[in-house]
Structure 1
Amino acid sequence: MKTRFFIHVLSIFLLAFGTLFLSCSKDGGSSTTTPPTDETGKPITITELSLASSYLIDNSKTFTIGGKGFEKNDVILLKKRNSSQQYIFTIKQLKDNEIVVETKDNIPADTYEIYIQRDNKSKLLGETTITIVFNANIPDKQGMNIKGSVYSQGKGVPNVVVSDGETVTTTDENGIYYLSSNKTNGFVFVSIPSNYEVAVTNSIPQFYKPISSSKEKIDLVDFELIPANNENHVVAFLADMHIANRNDDIAQFRNGFVNDITTLANQVKGQNKKFYAITVGDQTWDQYWYSNNFGLREFKNLIKDFNFPIFHAMGNHDNDPYVANDFLSEKPFRENFGPTYYSFNLGKVHYIVLDNIIYINTGGGLGIIGSRNYNATLTQNQIDWLKADLATITDKSTPIVVVMHIPLHNVPNVNNVYSSRLTNYNAFMSALSGFENVKVVSGHTHYNYRILPNNSTNTNVTEYNIAAICATWWWTGRSGYADNHISKDGSPGGYGVMENSGKDLRFYYKSIGFDKNYQFRAYDLNKVHITADAFAPNANATYKPQVAEYAGEYAVVNDKNQILINVWGYQPNWKITVKENGNNLTVSRVNKKDPLHIISYELKRLNANAAPTSDFVTNNTSHLFLVTASSPTSTIEITVEDEYGNKYQETMTRPKTFNTAMK
């Protein structure tokens, strides 16, 4: 009697459990319930089972399982491997020796355990990998080991550029492409066409997909495009963030940069324009990857919540410092951000991201950080790929924007004379010949300068070398220091911004925490006198005597009534006008050091009885301008006009205070 009662209660429990399970997991939906495994009573028997190790699911949204013994009301459950996530689907078609399962639209590509459910029983059939494809029936082609579709809204998109980083091809009228690939780089990527976007995961555009390493295997790789009107768009260029979990950098990054660019992005979106960002390398700092447990993976997590797409370029400090091989040292970058060089289109502008660092890292090895040395060079593979990519653009008036970490040119002098920096400069310039409007955006230096086309070696390229988001490696804003954010040329920490309407591109430098119209800083040199008493009162007997060395000319009183102006975005086609009592003063371009940076970094380090790091100290810059007034107390009117006709002005009431809080 007790035994029959127990069995009766157990049957009610199992029936209720099965009903609850099915009611919580409707057809096509997801559930976190563990599949029931009761095999009491009549077992589920499937004979001649044929389950593929992988399924390609296309627009039909179905896949087939071979076998006998299936019943019409059976339910097929797919449970993600190593996850509680699972999906339940019905049988669309029942045949004697197979079933057709309808997956609906909501199952992501992944590896799954497949169960059959019948009444209150469940049986594991096996494991398979689900891959979502647009067209599973693309025929193979002799010699081609990558194939796929580029599609949007259920239709193939023609004339889209697809590449593996070596070979470049385009889709046919049905959106189908083929590649014969060496599979060297591990990716195939789409050059996103104008007025489309791709899905974004954790702020990273998914324009690339991994491929197998086997040349014999044929990879089927699709790309889905999302229509987006980006004819009018804004791009922010983010150079040298150097996040390393030191110097309060993460807090400064969040409280300063993140707030600043989020505000800008929201303003742009409020104008019905698209907003994007491209990093210009050195997202991290290889020297501290292991000691501070902060590398590219941690950086990726830091930026995952931005509400706009961020493309990424490689910097020399984004290589693995334990690896002394250029390609292998880039592995963490590829794992987190994809290809190290690629292209895409926004509106009428063609963007190209390059990796112009060959990382040598002499002495590097497992557990050993090498010298982290490198060459500023584009590999021949990139040069060849660049030519092939540009060959797909027939309209030579198309604006080309190239992003690469190390500058193409060295800093110009006061006469605007400059030299090339890239070792294979001529090959790069040759690849871009014929295009009328080329912009290069670079970083690396942590200061600002601009190079305009000339009539000799450079006839079509403008370069914007931009100062760093981290400014002086986050030192001046560190707790207890200057409480400002300034780069070693005196530029505020910031980033480049390009506003694009059709083929009209307009660039400016955006200082973090300031309005876009903040484009220069002016000093009353009568008040610029750098002494230990004023700026390093805590320096001891070792460091106090070094103040004059770092202060240079500013260690001496200047009573010449001079005004020094730092115009960080200066180009030779800008105009600088200074007036005293309505009269124009002579403006001379000079090569000097910015005094604010000296008191914000060098003097703060000396005040802490520490030696300033040589790479971080103030550098001479040629975007400084000097004028001499007739009086120490006259009011000075300063106007800086850029190439677009925008005017930036300051009325300087003298004497003007000199301290770390000045603007």
Structure 2
Amino acid sequence: MKKTDTFTRRAFIGGTVVTGLGLTLNLISCEKSTETPEPPQPDPTTSGNENTLNITDVSLPSNIDVSKGMELTITGKGFAMGDQVIFDPLIAGYPRAAIDVSRVSAESVVIVLAEQLVTSGYRVSVKRGSRTVTLGQTALNFVFNASIPDKDGMTIKGTVFADGVGLANVVVSDGFEVTATDENGIYYLPSAKKTKYVFVSIPGNYEVATDINAPLFFNRLRQPEETVETHDFELTPVNNNKHVVMVLGDMHLANRNNDISQFQTGFLTDVNQSIQKYKNAGNKVYALTLGDMSWDTYWLLTNYGLPDYLREMNKINAPVFNTMGNHDNNPSHTDDWISEDKFREVIGPTYYSFNIGKVHYIVLDNIEFKENNGARAYSPRIVSDQLEWLKKDLATVTDKTTPIVIAMHVQLISNLSLNGSGQESRVFRLQESQLFVNALSGFTDVNILSGHVHANYNVRLSPSIMEHNTGAVCATWWWTGRDGHAGNHICKDGTPGGYAIWEMEDRQLKWTYKSIGYEEDYQFRAYDLNKVHLTEDKYVPLHNPSTTGVSWNTYAGEYVNLNQNNEILINVWNYDTDWTVEVTENGVSLPITRVHVTDPLHIISYSAQRMNRNAAPTGAFVSIPTAHMFKVQASSPTSTVEIKVTDCFGRIFQESMVRPKEIHTQMK
């Protein structure tokens, strides 16, 4: 659903309270832009501003909370029956209203607000016959219930409603305090207003309005801490028990490496096709990013930042919820909280929750930024205030069997390795990780979505907690698809650049990894290691070590040596321990060994391309070993082998691998 008002996403709600002016009046002002245009000043000669009407002692609040059709009292002397109160909008194109007075006393005038008035700023005047006098300016803020009383210590109040009815038990928070609405949909928060916003945890089977595709689930706070503000949330009922979420990791949009072109022609085309496919199947579809949508280094170098990312995000044909990454911090600041201000200003809350259908989603900011002389340092950590908020939020989920999906940028568990017995070796990446895990205690179905690594792997941490580190939309920072390079799109572990698709129906969750440009059933790549001989002469003939200062063997690793052992290497990028990999040769099953090695296609797609241009590969971008690799040995170099991979949901993916099979940058 689309909001009919034309307010911009990031300037949309501020507030104040005015008391002691004849009635208690509250305001939240919706602005069309960050600056309200100055209205044309009235002509005193024609407007009658010399006050020939003898109206005096007027108290017109600068901001007023109002409801449709309510009576509004303006204090002042000299009003008369037959007068009209004129509301002229300060923003061109907004509606004007001329309202006959309803009642007059010696101290005030009463009018009934016209239906055409909307939340905006107005110049207010009184017309009597041919004479007009301007009373002043005010901003009307239309709220669901303008009569909510103040409460001691409560600085934010409002109503959550749908179809004209307040909704009970809806969670509202400012990022520190968490509350729920009463039976009338009314909430109060004792907010210190540190985050400068208040948000609703959208309940299941409801949606909020969107600004293009950004869900408007939060309102900005504009007034001092002690000033009471009213902020409502209007919801629309939907049935989203059956829904799909496109999980989008690391985009790193920076206007370099042909990234915008690759994003638009590759990713956007692909994801919008997926969105339409699932909509056609009767799903409500949403998107959820995993951070690093922008690249802080290039906020200044190419003048491309978060506002530019939003312009591209708006082309995704589904509501998009955003997660903050380390590269979405402002590198000009050393303080963690202040470095997040730009994200709050442009995007919105850095952590929050919402519900879709019967699934509770939580978005966390697990970056503690520590800029130091341009190093853009950070710690992967959920700071204490946010951890306390997380506990409060989870406390509102009383049914511990509710599926919990948590999005955060840096992974909980580092990229997997294997021990001497071939079992997964797990190391926590998140600092104070046990505090985070403890907060999830009692919940039986928790899935953690992370990014950051530009690789893809899954970890079943316990029977109730599983982490899914999702491959990057940008793959290797858009390098391999850059004009004149490899012409493919591949992450550091050999996973194709892409995104995850999560299907939810009631409490049943199913996930898959979607490679950009391929069908969903493309889930592995097989190499004939007899043909994987990465020599310097073949792959980097133009490389000059004296220029780059690096050696090809460093990057080619074991593949620099000829391998004639008839081995087959299989990269199963979305593998977890509930998957199976089977290989047969002439109907005979071959023994399979899980191995921890680099992907040879990524080596020739990134490092070789850079070195052949006499540039040293960037250390953070080079191939990394991965544990979702499997090796088998065939009896012949020319036999065809049958590969069968079965995922944790019983879906089967197969390839009849004809050998010899050459390695090249366009291989599948």
Regarding TM over 0.5, the answer is: yes
CA shift in 2, pair 1:45/1:585, >3 Å: farther
- In the other structure, the counterpart of 1:603 is 608
Whether the 8 Å contact between 2:68 and 2:115 is mirrored in structure 1 is no
Whether the 8 Å contact between 1:36 and 1:120 is mirrored in structure 2 is no
- In the other structure, the counterpart of 1:85 is 93
- In the other structure, the counterpart of 1:100 is 111
1:128 aligned onto 2:138 = yes
CA shift in 2, pair 1:36/1:358, >3 Å: closer
| Structure 1 SS opposite 2:99 | strand
- In the other structure, the counterpart of 2:21 is none
1:194 to 183, 192, 204: 204
The alignment of Structure 1 onto Structure 2 pairs a total of residues equal to: 620
- In the other structure, the counterpart of 2:180 is 170
Whether the 8 Å contact between 1:114 and 1:125 is mirrored in structure 2 is yes
1:330 aligned onto 2:340 = yes
Give CA deviations for 1:228-252 in whole Å, capped at 9, x if unaligned.
1110001111111111111111111
Superposition pairs of residues 611-622 of structure 1, within 5 angstroms:
611-622=616-627
Give CA deviations for 1:518-571 in whole Å, capped at 9, x if unaligned.
111111111212233432333346369833332122222222111111000010
1:34 deviates by 7.8
Whether the 8 Å contact between 1:183 and 1:212 is mirrored in structure 2 is no
Whether the 8 Å contact between 1:484 and 1:660 is mirrored in structure 2 is yes
| Structure 2 SS opposite 1:505 | strand
2:426 to 400, 418, 426: 418
CA shift in 2, pair 1:337/1:525, >3 Å: same
Give the Cα separation in 2 of the matches to 1:277 and 1:547. 40
- In the other structure, the counterpart of 2:67 is 58
Give the Cα separation in 2 of the matches to 1:61 and 1:41. 28
CA shift in 2, pair 1:203/1:119, >3 Å: farther
Superposition pairs of residues 141-290 of structure 1, within 5 angstroms:
141-212=151-222, 214-290=224-300
1:555 aligned onto 2:598 = no
- In the other structure, the counterpart of 1:501 is 505
- In the other structure, the counterpart of 2:542 is 538
CA shift in 2, pair 1:580/1:289, >3 Å: same
1:358 aligned onto 2:363 = no
CA shift in 2, pair 1:652/1:71, >3 Å: farther
Give CA deviations for 1:101-152 in whole Å, capped at 9, x if unaligned.
5332562x33333456789987654221221211011111122221111111
- The one-letter code of the counterpart of 2:150 is D
- In the other structure, the counterpart of 2:436 is 428
- In the other structure, the counterpart of 2:594 is 589
| Structure 1 SS opposite 2:360 | strand
Give the Cα separation in 2 of the matches to 1:37 and 1:564. 82
Of 113-122 and 205-214, the range deviating more from structure 2: 113-122
Structure 2: runs of 5+ lacking an equivalent: 1-31
In the superposition, the TM-score normalised over structure 1's length comes to: 0.89
Give the Cα separation in 1 of the matches to 2:261 and 2:82. 59
Of 304-313 and 186-195, the range deviating more from structure 2: 304-313
- In the other structure, the counterpart of 1:478 is 482
Whether the 8 Å contact between 1:79 and 1:86 is mirrored in structure 2 is yes
CA shift in 2, pair 1:345/1:541, >3 Å: closer
Whether the 8 Å contact between 2:603 and 2:622 is mirrored in structure 1 is yes
- In the other structure, the counterpart of 2:409 is 405
Whether the 8 Å contact between 2:99 and 2:114 is mirrored in structure 1 is no
Give the Cα separation in 1 of the matches to 2:547 and 2:574. 34
CA shift in 2, pair 1:141/1:264, >3 Å: same
Give CA deviations for 1:499-521 in whole Å, capped at 9, x if unaligned.
00011011111111111111111
Whether the 8 Å contact between 2:85 and 2:101 is mirrored in structure 1 is no
- In the other structure, the counterpart of 2:28 is none
Identity of aligned residues (%): 47
Give the Cα separation in 1 of the matches to 2:590 and 2:130. 92
CA shift in 2, pair 1:120/1:614, >3 Å: farther
Whether the 8 Å contact between 1:543 and 1:606 is mirrored in structure 2 is no
Give the Cα separation in 2 of the matches to 1:99 and 1:201. 36
Give the Cα separation in 1 of the matches to 2:145 and 2:357. 28
- In the other structure, the counterpart of 1:568 is 573
Whether the 8 Å contact between 1:637 and 1:649 is mirrored in structure 2 is yes
| Structure 2 SS opposite 1:263 | helix
> What CA RMSD, in Å, does the superposition of the two structures yield over aligned residues?
2.4
1:466 deviates by 0.9
- The one-letter code of the counterpart of 2:218 is Y
1:442 to 450, 456, 470: 450
Superposition pairs of residues 274-353 of structure 1, within 5 angstroms:
274-353=284-363
Of 37-46 and 607-616, the range deviating more from structure 2: 37-46
CA shift in 2, pair 1:296/1:396, >3 Å: same
Give the Cα separation in 2 of the matches to 1:293 and 1:147. 39
Whether the 8 Å contact between 1:37 and 1:122 is mirrored in structure 2 is no
Give the Cα separation in 2 of the matches to 1:511 and 1:597. 15
Whether the 8 Å contact between 2:359 and 2:405 is mirrored in structure 1 is yes
- In the other structure, the counterpart of 2:464 is 460
Give CA deviations for 1:562-611 in whole Å, capped at 9, x if unaligned.
11110000101101011111111111111111011011100000111111
| Structure 2 SS opposite 1:90 | strand
Give CA deviations for 1:334-386 in whole Å, capped at 9, x if unaligned.
112221111111111000111111111123xxxxxx21111111111111111
Whether the 8 Å contact between 1:636 and 1:652 is mirrored in structure 2 is yes
| Structure 2 SS opposite 1:622 | strand
- In the other structure, the counterpart of 2:121 is 111
Give the Cα separation in 2 of the matches to 1:41 and 1:84. 19
Whether the 8 Å contact between 1:239 and 1:467 is mirrored in structure 2 is yes
Structure 1: runs of 5+ lacking an equivalent: 1-29, 364-369
Give the Cα separation in 2 of the matches to 1:501 and 1:623. 28
Whether the 8 Å contact between 2:594 and 2:627 is mirrored in structure 1 is yes
2:526 to 502, 517, 522: 522
| Structure 2 SS opposite 1:87 | coil
Whether the 8 Å contact between 1:592 and 1:621 is mirrored in structure 2 is yes
1:384 aligned onto 2:376 = no
- In the other structure, the counterpart of 1:4 is none
1:77 deviates by 3.9
